[in-house]
Structure 1
Amino acid sequence: MGERRSDAKRRRILDAAFEHFLARGVAATSLEQVAETAGVSRQTIYAHFGGDSTTGGAKDTLFVAMVEDQVGRDDDEPHPLVATIPWTDDLERDLATYAHHHLTLVMTPELIRLRRTILGEAERFPLLAATWFDQGPRRSIEMFADWFETLDDRGVLRAPEPMLAAETFNWLVLSTPLNEAMSLPDATTSRDLTRYADEAVRVFLAAYRS
């Protein structure tokens, strides 16, 4: 029972840290704010994440734990097209559907704020930023490369360098909406996302389709 209570407190602390770090940034967030939102004491945060009122240290450890917790979450089932796109009989349709899904997911407001926060702290936490990149952008690009390698083998695409094709595709889909969102919150509507996804696929296939 005590272990479950401790786990529940840790969960509340991480959720509160996510809320405050993303809204205010690490430097402007105090442990008192996190503790109040989580319904715990500062000492409880120290007990879970190290440091004390004299030496400090708990806030940085908490930030690292919060990012690792978010990166490690895998709540969503893979999109059905992940497995079927390499064998599709209508590549333009299926690639556009997935491009819209991918863009919508990346543009989730919470993920945009998390991205801003991680990039803002990348110089202080380079390994953490690298972990985020490996588990997020790099994993998507490697999945696209696997698709395009199979589609090249099938003669559907001309993609002798699947990784380069994957990086190109990812950039075409994300570039303008993501760049705007990183600087201009709420700048892109759902209708805009569909338009960007469709155009990205059109341009990609114009270059790569056999």
Structure 2
Amino acid sequence: MDISISRRGFVAGGCTFASMFAVGGAAYALSGDDPKPLRPPGAQDAAHFAATCLKCNRCESACPQQCLRTGVLEDGILNWRTPIMDFHRGACTFCGACEDVCPAGSIAGARDESQVIGVAKIDQDRCLAFAQSGCRVCVDACPYGAISLDSSMRPVVDVDACNGCGACEFACPSNTYLSFAGGKQRGINVEIARGEA
């Protein structure tokens, strides 16, 4: 049985493979590592935000807590130059400065603390309280009482009380103490709430 491939078949197969690779790469480039990043309070309606945001970055410049950053290409083309919450830089106080300077109305209701930016999630591999007892920084940092300690003195997040302000992530010292481990994640990180994913 002869299973040789003709030149035309080889070229057609190569083109098919290349096009499949290109489509996958394009999908990745459009979505980035985090296809739905955390947005400022009042910008959780993804369709409205995508349709109206001018990518002017006024909200980032106005933020007194400096918890907004400009999306880069690694965040995906759709998120490029849009405002993304970065709780390694600061925590959101729902001051409304971002809404005040937004010329397109992409951010609305930023002073409403009941808005849910995301929800805090414990990373047990990086949380110092899981490695050794005694750390309660996130509990003390939470202005909404959404984090408590269990009977083993480990943090537990009340997802109904958490609005994703990022105070816990900003205060978490795990990156300092676990710097040898690498990575950007902290012992507690704000992520998109399940209902928004």
Normalized per residue, the structure richer in helix is 1
The normalised TM-score by structure 1 is: 0.22
Task: Identify, as 1 or 2, the structure richer in strand.
Answer: 2
